[in-house]
Amino acid sequence: MGKKIHINCDLGEGGEFDAELMPLISACNIACGGHAGNLESMHRTVRLAMEYDVEIGAHPSYPDRENFGRNPMEMSREDLKLSIEGQILSLKQIAESEGGKLSHVKLHGALYNDAAKDEEIARIIVECLEDLEGDFKLFVPLKSKFSEVAMGKFDLVFEAFADRNYNQDYSLVSRSEKDALITEKEEVFEHVFSIFNFEKIRTKSGEEIRGNADTFCVHSDTPSSVEIIKFLHKKLAEKGIRVKHS
């Protein structure tokens, strides 16, 4: 049968490649109104995911459409919980109305990064998710506060980024730095294969850190995202590895 790799993509964010990307991935994380997305786009993306048997995930964020959820926000505990709960429930209800189900939750942007390093924010998010009492998995960053707080409370799916560079502390290189993104398809493959096969992540400084991921994210707003994922399919297949579908 060979090995299988799990690839996820953030979709329903207003990008132009969703329909091309969906058949190529294992799971989608659907924007649910915080940084992008609305009822129409959620319905459309859920239907597309079901057509191609792709796992449906909620992709909540700070409620900051102006900055695409990529800037940290000061919010009270209660306001943050209400916002995240509302976003996830919207997507969950839409998925169920279309005959599907919510498979997982993955945070977006600044909220993802903040929950990775700030234990208090991680606890707020986990409390919110526990209140929802859903049967869903959590996509979490490697070596993060979020994974520590959520451990034992949810099934965790450890995520690495196919198209992002890492610092030695397992954080992502800031998008404000020129080498934050990996855009060449050959480099993306080498990065993914190193983590998948050898559990090694080459950092921005050139050193290696240990990392074992259950899923790999390719960002849909990268202009060459379709080309990158098709290339990954081809190169991984040559190594006897195929992309998993649910």
Interval 137-176: pLDDT, tens: 999 999 999 999 999 999 999 999 999 999 999 999 999 9
Spell out where the chain has E strands.
Answer: 3-5, 7-11, 27-31, 55-59, 104-105, 137-141, 156-161, 200-202, 208-210, 215-217, 241-243
Q: Residue 133: give its domain's CATH number.
A: 3.20.20.370
User: Is the confidence at residue 246, as pLDDT, over 60?
Assistant: no
| pLDDT, the chain, mean | 96
What is the average per-residue pLDDT within 224-235? Answer: 97
Q: Which pTM was predicted? A: 0.96
> Pairing relation of β-strands 200-202 and 208-210?
antiparallel
CB-facing half-sphere around the CA of 140: CA atoms within 13 A = 25
User: Is the confidence at residue 211, as pLDDT, over 90?
Assistant: yes
Residue type, 121: I
**pLDDT at residue 133 in the model:** 79
Residue 7, beta-bridge partner list: 216
What is the average per-residue pLDDT within 100-123? Answer: 97
pLDDT in tens, 166-205: 999 999 999 999 899 999 999 999 999 999 999 999 999 9
For 22-77, the DSSP string reads: GGG-SEEEEE-SSSS--HHHHHHHHHHHHHTT-EEEEE---S-TTTTT-S-----H
What is the average per-residue pLDDT within 77-95? Answer: 98
User: Which domain, by its residues, includes 152?
Assistant: 3-243
Percentage of the chain beyond pLDDT 70 is: 99
The structural domain count of the chain equals 1
pLDDT band per the 50, 70, 90 thresholds, residue 134: confident
Instruction: Mean pLDDT check: name the lowest of 46-50, 86-90, 134-138.
Output: 134-138
Percentage of the chain beyond pLDDT 90 is: 95
What is the average per-residue pLDDT within 214-231? Answer: 95
Q: Pick the more confident residue, 18 or 133.
A: 18
pLDDT band per the 50, 70, 90 thresholds, residue 1: low
**pLDDT at residue 109 in the model:** 96
